[in-house]
């Protein structure tokens, strides 16, 4: 029964999205008909033998009014505005970066804006993903975003791609656009986007944000074929090796301050406008041209630093880059066939189970073993979330020891004499006492950090050679909310 209801809900969402897309196409048609009407000669002009077939001015009167404030900026002008109107821009991701970037690109008058994202709007998105509204929770993000963009500016053509970017379809999608914006948050997709952008000849504006910090780069600018040293570096040139899979933190795990990701998204829009409106010599002119491309750089933003911005100059294309060098090994065929495996290259994001079944306990079984109403059996609960999360909600009498403190200690305890072990300063008395045999349970948000902490506590000898139980709460506080306390705050 649940499966049928889910199918019905999915079909309703698709119908709603299709209707919204159809309404957008009708608006685009109405705009096109206005342009056609303005370029059509009158009967009097025909009678007088006038051959005028074009509207006198290249923009509609409403467009002059709408974009006038930016057109009088010397770097834009009418020529720049016409370049913006003819540009086709794809944003990969309709979240914290994609929303502000799309908002300003639409406001600037980009002719065609595509958005690709397979996620739906959640209430946890709304503090930073500024195109979405509470009423659109459950709706595809691309449909929710385009709905807001059309209200802002009906002139551009908006194209939704209701799917996650995958290697098989990426080249065909990228070929429909002139410029690409990477608004994603995972390494595997970043490498896929960069590789495809280079091989399809597209400039890429890439940004990232986490907690209170962000980064921005303009890559493959100017876009040149692999092996051409005049082309800008790609993502692989800057990061030849991906970070370890277990070190990658998402916004859901690490947190994000809304204005931080908003700042980076706005900067993406700015850099895109600059790339579109700045003159670049054609590929055939590059050898003899004296025009020099702007040096590539990595812009780093830190909200709580002074100064907040700093820039690091990037090197040119790497001579041994797997994508943009003369000895490239990655091709469109290898991407589309799957022989270039991005998940394997970046490592699995799935955290393996580090503990055995006897070292783990479900929240439900833990509560059955240690009811709130009795203190017959005692246990020690260690919460390894950071201080901020612990302050949001915590279990009574639990002890907060952030996982960062635990990982910062030595892997093995130092023995100072035959009877005494030196323990890190973060170890509380309840754990350090050689007389206490109360079992120790470790809990975290999702049940991943808690496993690492259990291993660490055992390495420090706090299990007294296996005589004292140390285990974790399987699934962390997410499972605790599902199995024990439905009122536990979900954040």
Q: Which residues are catalytic?
A: 251, 444
CA distances from 280 to 10, 82, 346, 379 (A): 46, 16, 34, 68
Does 186 carry a binding-site annotation?
yes
* Integer Rg of the chain from CA: 28
Does 128 carry a binding-site annotation?
yes
Does 126 carry a binding-site annotation?
yes
Does 117 carry a binding-site annotation?
yes
Does 124 carry a binding-site annotation?
yes
Does 237 carry a binding-site annotation?
yes
| Angle, CA 117 vertex, CA 114 and CA 118 arms, to 5° | 140
CA distances from 55 to 27, 35, 36, 40 (A): 21, 8, 9, 8
Q: In what order do the strands lie in the sheet with 380-383?
A: 360-361, 470-473, 440-443, 380-383, 399-400
Which token pair is 385?
């979330």
CA 88 and chain centroid, separation: 21
Does 324 carry a binding-site annotation?
yes
Does 393 carry a binding-site annotation?
no
Q: Which residues of 472-483 are buried (b: 16+ CB within 10 A; e: fewer)?
A: bbbbbbebbbeb
Q: Which residues pair with 2 in a beta bridge?
A: none
212 contact partners, CB below 8 Å, separation of at least 6: 257, 260, 302, 303, 304
CB of 185 within 8 A of CB of 251?
yes
Instruction: Name residue, tokens 């309840």.
Output: 430
Does 234 carry a binding-site annotation?
yes
Residue ranges of the annotated binding site for ATP are 96, 117, 124-128, 141, 185-186
Residue ranges of the annotated binding site are 96, 117, 124-128, 141, 185-186, 234, 237, 321, 324
Residue ranges of the annotated binding site for Zn(2+) are 234, 237, 321, 324
């Amino acid at each position: 029964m649940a499966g049928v209801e889910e199918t019905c809900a999915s079909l309703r969402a698709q119908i709603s999205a299709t209707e919204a897309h159809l309404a957008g196409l009708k608006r685009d048609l109405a705009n096109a008909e206005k342009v056609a009407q303005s370029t059509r000669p009158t009967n009097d002009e025909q009678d007088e033998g006038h051959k005028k077939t074009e509207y006198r001015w290249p923009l509609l009167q409403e467009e002059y009014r709408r974009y006038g404030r930016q057109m009088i900026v010397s770097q834009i002008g009418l020529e720049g505005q016409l370049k913006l109107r003819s540009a086709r821009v794809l944003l990969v991701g309709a979240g914290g970066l994609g929303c502000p970037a799309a908002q300003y690109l639409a406001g600037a008058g980009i002719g065609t804006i595509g958005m690709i994202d397979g996620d739906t709007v959640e209430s946890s998105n709304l503090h930073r993903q500024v195109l979405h509204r509470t009423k659109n929770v459950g709706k595809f993000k691309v449909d929710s975003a385009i709905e807001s963009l059309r209200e802002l500016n009906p002139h551009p053509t908006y194209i939704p791609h209701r799917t996650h970017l995958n290697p098989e379809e990426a080249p065909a999608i990228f070929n429909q656009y002139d410029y690409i914006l990477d608004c994603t948050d995972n390494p595997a997709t970043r490498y896929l986007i960069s590789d495809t952008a280079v091989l399809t000849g597209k400039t890429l504006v890439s940004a990232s944000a986490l907690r209170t910090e962000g980064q921005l780069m303009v890559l493959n600018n100017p876009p040149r074929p692999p092996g051409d040293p005049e082309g800008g570096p790609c993502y692989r040139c800057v990061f030849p090796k991906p970070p370890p899979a277990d070190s990658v933190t998402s916004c859901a795990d690490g947190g994000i301050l809304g204005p931080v990701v908003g700042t980076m998204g706005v900067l993406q829009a700015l850099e895109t406008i600059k790339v579109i409106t700045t003159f670049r010599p054609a590929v055939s002119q590059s050898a003899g041209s004296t025009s020099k491309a702007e040096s590539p750089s990595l812009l780093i933003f830190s909200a709580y630093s002074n100064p907040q911005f700093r820039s690091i100059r990037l090197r040119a294309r790497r001579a041994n880059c797997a994508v943009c060098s003369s000895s490239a090994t990655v091709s469109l065929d290898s991407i589309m066939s799957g022989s270039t495996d991005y998940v394997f290259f970046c490592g699995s994001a799935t955290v393996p189970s580090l503990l055995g079944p006897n070292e783990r306990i479900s929240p439900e079984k833990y509560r059955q073993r240690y009811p709130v109403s009795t203190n017959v059996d005692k246990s020690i609960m260690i919460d390894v979330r950071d201080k901020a999360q612990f302050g949001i909600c915590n279990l009574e009498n639990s002890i907060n020891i952030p996982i960062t403190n635990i990982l910062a200690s030595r892997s093995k305890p130092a023995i100072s004499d035959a009877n005494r072990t030196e323990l890190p300063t973060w170890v509380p008395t309840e754990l350090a006492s050689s007389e206490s045999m109360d079992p120790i349970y470790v809990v975290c948000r999702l049940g991943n950090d808690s496993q690492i902490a259990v291993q660490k506590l055992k390495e420090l000898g706090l299990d007294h050679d296996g005589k004292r139980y140390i285990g974790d709460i399987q699934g962390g506080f997410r499972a605790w909310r599902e199995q024990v306390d439905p009122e536990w705050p979900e954040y």
